[in-house]
Structure 1
């Protein structure tokens, strides 16, 4: 196997005259500790690992296997996601930092045992600064394969000592966040009688639908993946399948696919009164939340809502039982409630309130480390 690093400037710089540290987006505005580019020509692997912060502990984040349009799109995604993991870990109260990895390619055609093995060996070279897990395009079976060549992986199947698929706990965290948002917006946490649109019916979206139906919600769903929708149709015939969710008549919009669905335009046209979902980086820019707030729409900060999976794998590292993990995930309801209360008390956006909570914990950890 050949281990090589991609030339960084050729991949990430939008300005050929600018060095990588002067890049006018995430590397400059949101500095990262380390960004590593890995390539294995034999297996076709092209991967990027971004470590945003290890202040609270080793950086943990899933591996996203996705057919990005180009390498620049992959870089932007991994930098945004890794920063989000730092804040997610801080708000969740776990002793982990933020990291993320992306593998460029279509998992349906490019994913092989050889490629996953090559990727695992690259993760091992980072010496534990980054711990990987599952994400879009990867699952517990893939993590089992990765675990053959690195010690730094969580979320493997229980049969090999892991905690299994994190989708159910991620969905539970989103559900509890949605209940907290409903409490803040309507005065009751119950979603009975509410119409919820789930955009993305993959692993997490599917589990969320199950919880919503059990709570008495009416559910609409959509996905670009026909197989995912077929599963929903077969298992939940009461769910209405629609072509588009974001512009539907909803009480709650639940983005559970890729991020950046809330733009300046969609934020002005969305009909839902509450937005809460599993997708990362739902806002194209933070200022979009201003539009939602001015329209009376309650948005739940995404990295708080989708923290259940992180809590699960953090529990795996600590040896927590499944019941202990579930209880911690259910407390996301309290965390979201506290963030909404801080937002109202301080007269700031919910996203700003969540950031303040995360940054305070990170700053305290840094202060203690300095002595």
Structure 2
């Protein structure tokens, strides 16, 4: 067991979950509860080892602390990963076993959807815990959080466009989207509506074909390596983390990186490498917060207009971060981290967001 990863991570709690009867192997990581219960999705992925799963959940939960802080939510950072192939290993029994582990934390961790999990999965998890969000409307939830995630990325991209090019629009710009899953596919439609030229790619060629059938104006790149080398104004990673490795950064033609994937920077030096090349990076944990805003609102009785208004404010948040980075001569990632750390240390609201719903209102259904 790589305990050094846990010891050095700064996390409050890391829970290993095992249920031999269903085959469940999972890790739940709580980075911080300074602002409230940890909130973050459950990722179901075929990790090659427990070490790889642990490293990923620690990175993801730490990023959730910053995301929730910048989104003005009364939540700390948490995340969970389930080891396995969601296409073959996911069963109702396994999901219910996972739900019992979430429930055992007594509300310190609130879960939702992530890569490999869906609204229907959260409905099953919610049979065992009150702390599952992202449920279907029929089960008292808000439904698919990718709707507001994609909207938030669009708002962040428009803010970055204003910062770079003086106009809050992608009209006439060429945007490359790597990953056309739940978020990337919706983002592609938004960008086409905004007047952008959109190029897409995904390892799932069937997903690309389905998207092109809906939006024939899309152009398709062979793969992500080919996409980053094409003439682009914006590169938008929307798949798994680590998309911005050294080779990708060195090959980028785009002047702006803005996407919905979590943990896009492959290592601590990537932000500086992007800056050295003159590429503006809109921090992922800032622009992709629409989904967590939605599931957080679900805890208080989901109000679609209220959640959308808070997601729209990602535009102002992105502008504030990019302006702070320019004024302080630091990378946008550093500027965003500083603002998040200030809120985690001092609490209180953030200036660019409307007030969050009261933590006292709670319409979660009891576990069945």
TM-score scaled by length of structure 1:
0.91
Cα deviation digits, residues 153-201 of structure 1 (max 9, x gap): 1110011100111001000000000011111111111101111011000
- Taking the aligned partners of 1:226 and 1:170, their CA distance within structure 2 comes to 23
- Taking the aligned partners of 1:286 and 1:181, their CA distance within structure 2 comes to 22
- Taking the aligned partners of 2:173 and 2:342, their CA distance within structure 1 comes to 35
In structure 1, the partner of 2:210 is 231
Are 2:344 and 1:365 aligned? no
- Taking the aligned partners of 1:43 and 1:260, their CA distance within structure 2 comes to 31
Q: 2:90 aligns with which of 111, 136, 141?
A: 111
Bigger relative CO (Cα 8 Å, ≥ 6 apart): 2
SS of the residue 2:81 aligns to:
strand
In structure 1, the partner of 2:117 is 138
SS of the residue 1:101 aligns to:
strand
TM-fit CA distance, 1:226? 2.5
- Taking the aligned partners of 1:300 and 1:286, their CA distance within structure 2 comes to 15
In structure 1, the partner of 2:299 is 317
SS of the residue 1:110 aligns to:
coil
In structure 1, the partner of 2:313 is 331
In structure 2, the partner of 1:276 is 258
Are 2:322 and 1:340 aligned? yes
Please, which runs of 5 or more residues in structure 1 have no aligned partner? 1-8, 14-19, 367-371
SS of the residue 2:17 aligns to:
strand
- Taking the aligned partners of 1:182 and 1:28, their CA distance within structure 2 comes to 40
In structure 1, the partner of 2:279 is 297
- Taking the aligned partners of 1:247 and 1:57, their CA distance within structure 2 comes to 43
User: Contact between 2:233 and 2:254, CA under 8 Å: does it hold in 1?
Assistant: yes
Are 2:184 and 1:202 aligned? no
Are 2:55 and 1:55 aligned? no
In structure 1, the partner of 2:170 is 191
In structure 1, the partner of 2:239 is 257
- Taking the aligned partners of 1:149 and 1:116, their CA distance within structure 2 comes to 9
TM-fit CA distance, 1:320? 4.5
In structure 1, the partner of 2:249 is 267
SS of the residue 1:107 aligns to:
coil
Q: 1:31 aligns with which of 10, 15, 40?
A: 10
Are 2:104 and 1:125 aligned? yes
User: Contact between 2:176 and 2:236, CA under 8 Å: does it hold in 1?
Assistant: yes
User: Contact between 2:141 and 2:302, CA under 8 Å: does it hold in 1?
Assistant: no
Give the root-mean-square deviation of aligned CA atoms.
Answer: 1.2
Please, which runs of 5 or more residues in structure 2 have no aligned partner? 349-368
Q: 1:102 aligns with which of 75, 81, 103?
A: 81
Moved more, 30-39 or 314-323: 314-323
SS of the residue 1:47 aligns to:
strand
Question: How many residue pairs align between the two structures?
Answer: 345
**Which residues of 2 match residues 3-82 of structure 1 at below 5 A?**
9=1, 13=2, 20=3, 23=4, 25=5, 27-82=6-61
TM-score scaled by length of structure 2:
0.92
In structure 1, the partner of 2:198 is 219
In structure 2, the partner of 1:158 is 137
- Taking the aligned partners of 1:231 and 1:136, their CA distance within structure 2 comes to 19
SS of the residue 1:280 aligns to:
coil
Cα deviation digits, residues 192-249 of structure 1 (max 9, x gap): 1111011000000011011001000111111111332122121111111111222222
In structure 1, the partner of 2:154 is 175
